Amino acid sequence: MAAELAGLRARLASPEPLAGAILSLPEPGLATLLGTAGFDYVVVDAEHGPFTLATLRPVVEALAATPAHTIVRVAANDPTIIKQTLELGVDGIQVPGVASGEEAVAAVRAVRYAPEGERGIGVGRSTRYGLDLPGYLHDANASIATLAMIEDAAGVEHVADIAATPGLDAIIVGPLDLSAGLGVIGETGHPRVQQAIERIVAAGRAAGVPIGLGGPPGELRSLVEAGSHVTLIFFDALDIGAAARAAVQAARASLV
């Protein structure tokens, strides 16, 4: 009998929509700022951001001291990378470029211990270096979430198979890569991209799997109504840069 869901897995399975941020810069202080800002979760972008395991650890430690759930977007659907990231003690793994049901199954199995998966047993930070090993082994499968990103035409084509994957907690849409894969690079508003997103949302609804979209904070209601349950509303580099430029412009305008 499967254990009752807990932690981030339980949050994703609940009807309450979640709003989060991306952290792409390996700065623990910024992790603390985002983690205490009120976001439900923070995605650490170890796929595109300049992270190593050594720089990822202090960011994960900083987030662990905040109310926000920590999700790491790993560099690849690789069981070794996923295992090493899990040993840092995170709440969820977001796997990029999932293009088939088989790849989604592989992602879930890399996150879960036997009998649900193939994750190796270590004594890293996740278990307080062995001190909490028995309890962690008992609780991890029920609480650590697996999120699959659909970012290309193949993923859209096989979205029903991906959504049907046992143990998959959410499907996240990657609109920029999706636009490139659909031949309209950078045009996330293009009808091809929007139709693909609608197809992903429909498959998620049919399978009862939460979908993750992204957009401005002021559009959260419309994004939720469009089918998003895990909504990204803040991107550190983009939004901090925009705020800085706006401050400079406001300062200069006050001198005129």
Average pLDDT over residues 31-55: 97
Catalytic residue list contains 158: no
Mean pLDDT of the chain: 97
Is 59's pLDDT higher than 80? yes
Please provide residue 36's backbone torsions phi and psi, each rounded to the nearest 5 degrees.
-105, 5
Q: Does domain 7-254 fall into CATH 3.20.20.60?
A: yes
What does the pLDDT look like over 98-152, one tens digit per residue? 999 999 999 999 999 999 999 999 999 999 999 999 999 999 999 999 999 999 9
Is 56's pLDDT higher than 60? yes
- Residue 143 CA neighbour count, 13 Å, CB half: 15
Is 2's pLDDT higher than 60? no
Residues of the chain with pLDDT > 70, as a percent, come to 99
What does the pLDDT look like over 146-159, one tens digit per residue? 999 999 999 999 99
* C-alpha torsion sign, points 208, 158, 213, 168: positive
The contacts of residue 95 (CB under 8 Å, 6+ apart) are 73, 74, 77, 82, 107, 146, 147, 148, 149
Question: DSSP labels for 166-229?
Answer: TT--EEEE-HHHHHHHTT-TT-TTSHHHHHHHHHHHHHHHHHT--EE-B--GGGHHHHHHTTBS
List the structure tokens of 46: 């170890």
Residues of the chain with pLDDT > 90, as a percent, come to 98
Listed by start position, the domains of the chain span 7-254
Contact 105, 133 (CB under 8 A): no
Is 1's pLDDT higher than 50? no
What does the pLDDT look like over 178-231, one tens digit per residue? 999 999 999 999 999 999 999 999 999 999 999 999 999 999 999 999 999 999
Say if strands 170-173 and 41-45 run parallel, antiparallel, or are unpaired. unpaired
Q: Give the span between the Cα atoms of 190 and 182, in whole angstroms.
A: 10
DSSP-derived letter for residue 230 is E
Q: What is the pLDDT of residue 3?
A: 67
List the structure tokens of 39: 């976001």
Q: What is the pLDDT of residue 31?
A: 98
